Structure 1
Amino acid sequence: MAAYIEDYALVGDCRTAALISIGGDIDWLSVPRYDSPSIFGALLGTEEHGSWRLAPTDRDARATRRYDGDSMILVTRWETTGGIAEVHEFMPIDGERVDVIRRVVGVEGSVEFGTELRMRFDYARTVPWVLQAGDDDEPALRGIAGPDAVVVRGVALHAEDHVHRGTLTTRPGSTDDLVMTWQRSYRPDPDPLDVDAALRETREWWSHWAGRIDHDGPYRDQVVRSLVVLRALSNLDTGGIVAAATTSLPEQIGGGRNWDYRYVWLRDAALTLDVLVCHGFLHVAEHWRKWLMRAIAGDPTQLQIMYGIAGERDLPERELTHLPGYEGSSPVRIGNAAVSQYQADTIGEVLVALESARDSGLEETSMSWSLQRELLYQVEANIDRLDQGIWEMRGEARRFTHSRAMVWAALDRGVRAIRAHGLEGPLDRWERLRDKVAHEIDTTLVDPDTGAFVQYEGTTEVDAALLQLPQVGFCEPDDRRILATVKRIEQTLMVGGLVTRYRTDAGVDGIDGGEHPFMACTFWLVEQYARSGRIEDAHDLMKRACATANDVGLFSEEYDTDARRQTGNIPQALSHLAFVRAADALAGTSADG
C-alpha cells in the first residue's frame, strides 16, 4: 500500500517530478512530462504497479528530511544502529534528458542500503524487457517498453520475479550515486551523468531563482517554498502551468471524487501567474502569455477551460480499471471530462492576471492585446449563458454568482485597459455590459434575508468561491454583502476549523460522496479576514491552515480534519498560491506572524 499522502515529497525538473515517500520509495513518476504515462505508479495501487525503493535494511532506521535551502533537492537523513547516512535526491534542470539522481552519502559508521526496482511502464500496463547493459565496474540496467526506455546506473541489480534488487554499504564520507535516465527506446543510451556537476548546477539554478523572490512579512520561509513549488509545476519549455503533480488522489478516501490535475487549467495557471508576477517574476508572465496565444491560436470561439502542457486540446477522460486507486479509491482517471465544459469565470481570471502583468510593466504587443480583445468578445457573445462554475459541477448548468462576478471582472479589465493604457476597444459597450452584470448580481444574487451573496440564482446556499469577489475588485473587503457572506460561510462551510468549498449534500454538483475542507478556500478566508480588519482571526486561521502542510511544506488539495490527513492531489498549485496571497495580506497588517 502507498504511504500517506503527506508522507511524500516532490523532486522535479520543471517538466515532471517524482514523489518520494519518507520511507524511501519513489511511488509516482511520469516521464517525460507531468501528463505522460507513469513508470512508477504504486501511489495508485501497490508496489507491483511500479516503485523504486532505496532505504536502509535496518528495519529500525529512523528518517528525517528537508529540502536543501530553497532548492528542490531533497535530503533524507537516516539514523540506524550502525551509523548515519543521507540520501540526496533531485532531478537536474536539463531539457535534453530526464534524470532521477539518488546520491547516498555516508556520515557516521556504516549503513547498509537495499534497493528494489520495479519498472512498470504505461501506467503499470507494461512490464519492460530488462537487460544488463554494464559490467562489474560500471553496472547498468536497461529497461525497454515500446517507445520508452530507462537506464539505471550506479549499483549492481539482480533480477528476481520482475524485481531488481541490490545493496550498498556506506562509510564516513563515502558517496554512491544511483541514477535513472529516461530516453526514447530507439535512441542510443545516454552518456553517464557527471553527478557532482549536476548537483552543483541544480543547486545554483534553484538558489538563483529563489533569491529573486520579493516578500517581506510573516511566513517568509513557507512563502518561498510555495513559490518554488509553483515554479516546479511550470513547464520550463512550454510555459504551461499544471494544477498538480498527480492524478486521482481522492478528495475522500474510498470515494470517487478522483480527478486528473496534470493539465493546464486557464484559471489555475492565471492565478499562479498573478502570484508570481506580484513577487517579481514578470518573465514568467511573458512565457505563459506566449503559451496562451499558442494554445488558443485560431478561432477563439473554440476556447477550452484547460489544455495539455504544450497546448494540446484532446484530453478525453478515461478510467484505468487495472489500477485499484489510492487506498482503494476508484476509479483512477487520466484525462479530464471538464475539458468540454463551459465555465464562465475562466476568461475573467485570465484577464485579471494579464492586467496584473501589464500594470507591472509587461508591454502589450499587437498580438497579445488582440487576443485579449477576442476573449472579451467571447464574454459578450456568452453574456447570459449558464455554466458549470469554478468547481466544474457535473450537475445542470446554473447562474453562479462567482461566474457572474468574473464576467464582470473580464469586462472591467477591458475597460481599464482602454482607460489606463490607451488600448483600443469598444469602451462604451464594455462599460454598459459591466454595469449591467453588476446590477444583476446586486439584485438577483444576494439573499434578501441575510444580505449575503448566494452560490447561484435561486438558492440561499453560499460558496467559498465568493471570497474571490473582493480579490478581483467587485466589492471592498468590508462591503456589507461580503461580510454577511463570510458569516454564512462560518455558519455552514466550516469543518474542523477549516473551510469547505460548498455543501456537497445540497445536490448541486451531480457527484456522489463528500469531501473535506479545501485548502485554497481556507486561505481565501485568511486573506478576507486580514483585509477586512479581523487580524487576530486571520492569524489564528492561518496557523491552523499551515499546520496541514507536510514536513517539507507541501499542501495537498484538501485536509481530513478528523483523521488529520491530507487528501486530494499533491502538491496543489491552487493551495500554494492561495497561501501566498494570504501571507501577503498578513504582511500588510501590524500583527506579528
Structure 2
Amino acid sequence: MEGELQPALWAHLRGLADAAEWAWREPDQGLWEIRGGGRVFTYSAGMCQVALDRAAALAEQLGLPGSTARWRAAAAELTRRVLEGSWDEEAQTLSAHLDGGGVLDASLLALPLRRVLPATHPRMVATTAAVAQRLSAGDGVLYRYLHEDAPDGIAGDEGAFVLCSFWLVENLVQQGRLEEAHELYGSLCARTSPLGLLSEQIDPATGAFIGNFPQAFSHIGIIASGVSLARATSDATA
C-alpha cells in the first residue's frame, strides 16, 4: 500500500541506518574505487549522512519505530564534519578526504545533489569553483581527480568523466547561475553521438568517446541536470 513499508523491509533499512552511524569512520576506496591504501573519503561520509537523514525522515513521515532522534543527531554531526573536517583553508575547497589536505575529487559536486550540503553554502560555492578550475580537461569536461594528487595504481592517464560535468551543471543551477548552466549543458549535449548517446569518458585532446559506451551514468546525468535546468528556467521566467 502507498505510504507504508513492510516490516521486514523497514527492519533492513533500520539496520543500514544504524550501520551508517559508524561505517563512515572506516577507510575505503571512495566512489571511484581508488586502488591502494584506504582513506576516509568525504563522499563516503556524505552518503552515510544521506542514509541517516532519510531513515529519520521515513520514520517521522510514516510513524515507524526507530532511533529517529539519534539518527538526526548523527546526520547533523556528519554534515558538520564534512564542512569542517574536509575543508582546506589554504586551498579554499572541501577535500576528497575527511581529514582535509586539499586533494580535489569531482564527487564533491554530488554532495548538494544528495542534499548533504546546500549548493549555496559558501564552502560549496568555493568547492564548485575549485573543481571547475583545477579538474578541468577543457571545453566543459572534468576529470574525476588528478593522478598526481590521487594515485590510483593504474598506469597512464584517463579521459574526462562525463557524469561529473552534469554534476557541475546541477550545482550551477542550484546556485542560480542559469546562464552558465545553459551554456555548459548545451556544450555537453553537442557531444552526443548521432543517436544521442554518450560514453563514460571523453578524450580531452580529440573529443573521442572512450570507456564504456553507451554509459548509463552519463545518460542519468544528462536527464537529471536537464530536468533541473528546465525547472529552474521555468521558475525564473514565471
Normalised by the size of structure 2, how large is the TM-score?
0.91
1:389 aligns to what? 30
2:209 aligns to what? 566
Match of 1:466 among 108, 113, 117: 108
Tell me the matched-pair count: 233
Do the aligned residues in 2 keep the contact of 1:548 with 1:559 (CA within 8 Å)?
Answer: no
Q: What secondary structure does 1:441 align onto?
A: helix
Shift of residue 371 of structure 1? Answer: 1.7
Amino acid at match of 2:176: G
Shift of residue 375 of structure 1? Answer: 1.6
C-alpha distance in 1 between matches for 2:172 and 2:81: 27
Larger strand proportion, structure 1 or 2?
Answer: 1
Amino acid at match of 2:120: D
C-alpha distance in 2 between matches for 1:551 and 1:572: 15
C-alpha distance in 2 between matches for 1:527 and 1:489: 14
TM-align CA RMSD: 1.9
1:419 aligns to what? 60
C-alpha distance in 2 between matches for 1:452 and 1:413: 27
Shift of residue 377 of structure 1? Answer: 2.7
C-alpha distance in 2 between matches for 1:393 and 1:450: 22
2:18 aligns to what? 377
Q: What secondary structure does 1:495 align onto?
A: strand
Cα distance change on mapping 1:584 and 1:465 into 2, 3 Å: same
Shift of residue 443 of structure 1? Answer: 2.1
Q: Give 1:290-301 correspondences, 5 Å limit.
A: none
Amino acid at match of 2:19: Q
1:434 aligns with 2:68: no
Shift of residue 439 of structure 1? Answer: 2.2
Q: After superposition, what is the alpha-carbon deviation per residue over 1:192-242, rounded to whole angstroms, capped at 9, x for unaligned?
A: xxxxxxxxxxxxxxxxxxxxxxxxxxxxxxxxxxxxxxxxxxxxxxxxxxx
C-alpha distance in 2 between matches for 1:409 and 1:502: 23
1:475 aligns with 2:117: yes
Shift of residue 500 of structure 1? Answer: 1.2
Q: After superposition, what is the alpha-carbon deviation per residue over 1:471-530, rounded to whole angstroms, capped at 9, x for unaligned?
A: 111221211111100111122111122111111222432222111111100111111111
Amino acid at match of 2:11: S
Larger radius of gyration, structure 1 or 2?
1
2:137 aligns to what? 495
Q: After superposition, what is the alpha-carbon deviation per residue over 1:160-212, rounded to whole angstroms, capped at 9, x for unaligned?
A: xxxxxxxxxxxxxxxxxxxxxxxxxxxxxxxxxxxxxxxxxxxxxxxxxxxxx
Q: What secondary structure does 2:181 align onto?
A: helix
Amino acid at match of 1:515: E
Q: Give 1:196-215 correspondences, 5 Å limit.
A: none
Q: What secondary structure does 1:387 align onto?
A: coil
Do the aligned residues in 1 keep the contact of 2:21 with 2:48 (CA within 8 Å)?
Answer: no
C-alpha distance in 2 between matches for 1:513 and 1:363: 50
Cα distance change on mapping 1:561 and 1:382 into 2, 3 Å: closer
1:410 aligns to what? 51
Q: Give 1:87-166 correspondences, 5 Å limit.
A: none
Larger helix proportion, structure 1 or 2?
Answer: 2
Shift of residue 380 of structure 1? Answer: 3.1
C-alpha distance in 1 between matches for 2:62 and 2:151: 41
Normalised by the size of structure 1, how large is the TM-score?
0.38
Shift of residue 382 of structure 1? Answer: 2.4
Amino acid at match of 1:413: R
C-alpha distance in 2 between matches for 1:448 and 1:501: 22
Amino acid at match of 2:60: R
